[in-house]
Amino acid sequence: MEVFVQQLINGLTLGSIYGLIAIGYTMVFGIIGMINFAHGDVFMLSAFIALITFLVVTTWLGISSIALALLVVLIVAMVLTSLWSWTIERVAYRPLRGSFRLAPLISAIGVSIFLSNFVQVVQGARNKPTPPMMREVIVLFERNGYAVAISYRQIVIMVVTTLLLAGFWYLVQHTSLGRAQRACEQDRKMAALLGIDVDRTISITFVLGAALAAVAGTMYLLYYGVISFSDGFVPGVKAFTAAVLGGIGSLPGAVLGGLIIGLVETFWSAYFSIEYKDVAAFSILAIVLIFMPSGILGRPEVEKV
């Protein structure tokens, strides 16, 4: 029982990070019907931005408060990562929007390779650790010599994910930007005829997805304490799997899929062989899609005639 509760906490934490990245995938797909395969490397880039900003804030500026330092890191990482994503959308995706369907996909893969190699050249191939921070834990209960605990880092990650999901759901459902996004999702040509600036809406969607990736990158760095140039691929694929599992195009579905993937990984690692945790996660995706092709919370795509 003690191991189950501890792995439940760990799984919810890991799933929250996957969910934050998955929202970026599902927002872009919902607007333009394209999988942004560079999103995982945008997440990795944001983690490096967060690391550099944290070192500058704590070492050069002398800010000793971890809470204040993290707040500054989050703001800087979100702004710079959003700027990167806006540039990528303008340069690599917008010119190919009216081209054949494989062109944006090939462009996204090219951007992914560029970002990965760019960070490798600039920062080096070795893992980059962070100074110790927020190591304190809260012991929930102890039984048979086994203590079930939750760390402040895990609390921060889960609370941030919950608040951001609520905020973005409200934005999509109850704001003019959200209405423009939903209109572009249904029919971009008709939305343009009704006066909606489609290019601006898509750019803002990329920016918002990148801002969430920046939060996820900061939380990933906070949780694991180390980052590498290759850390964009596996979390990116897991987050994409989470988006598909939950129903790509659905914000709650993206977070739900992330939580499921995180829980499957942690429970499998605890009770079975850790080498097969990725196989277990992708097997769950295959099983769900066999019975629910649109994902858990996804809506069937209606063919327009």
CB-CB contact of 242 with 258 (8 Å): yes
Whether residue 83 lies inside any domain: the answer is yes
Residue 258's SS3 state is: helix
Percentage, residues of the chain above pLDDT 90: 38
Whether residue 129 lies inside any domain: the answer is yes
Which run of H or E residues covers position 128? strand 128-129
Whether residue 285 lies inside any domain: the answer is no
Q: What is the pLDDT of residues 238-273, one digit of tens each?
A: 899 899 999 888 888 888 999 999 999 999 888 888
Whether residue 46 lies inside any domain: the answer is yes
CB-CB contact of 145 with 156 (8 Å): no
Question: String of b and e for 62-82 (b: at least 16 CB within 10 Å)?
Answer: ebeeeeebbebbbebbbebbb
Q: What is the pLDDT of residues 26-80, one digit of tens each?
A: 888 877 777 888 999 999 999 999 999 999 998 888 887 888 988 999 999 999 9
**What is the total count of domains within the chain?**
1
Q: How many whole angstroms separate alpha carbon 286 and alpha carbon 20?
A: 22
pLDDT at site 86 = 93
Whether residue 204 lies inside any domain: the answer is yes
Confidence class for position 305, pLDDT limits 50, 70, 90: very low
pLDDT at site 302 = 54
Whether residue 38 lies inside any domain: the answer is yes
CB-CB contact of 70 with 50 (8 Å): no
Rounded to a whole number of angstroms, the distance between the first and last alpha carbons of the chain is 55
Q: Which ranges constitute the DSSP H helices of 148-301?
A: 152-174, 176-186, 188-193, 198-224, 233-246, 251-271, 277-291
Whether residue 289 lies inside any domain: the answer is no
Least confident of 206-215, 259-268, 273-282: 273-282
The range of the structural domain enclosing residue 9 comes to: 2-232
Looking at every residue in the chain, the average pLDDT score rounds to 87
Integer angstrom CA distances of residue 263 from 25, 61, 91: 20, 39, 37
CB-CB contact of 158 with 174 (8 Å): no
pTM of the shown model: 0.91
Q: What is the mean pLDDT of residues 112-131?
A: 89
- Check whether 115 has a pLDDT greater than 80: yes
Residue with tokens 């560029």: 114
| 3-state secondary structure labels for all residues of 2-60 | HHHHHHHHHHHHHHHHHHHHHHHHHHHHHHHCCCCCCHHHHHHHHHHHHHHHHHHHHHH
Whether residue 290 lies inside any domain: the answer is no
CB-CB contact of 47 with 115 (8 Å): no
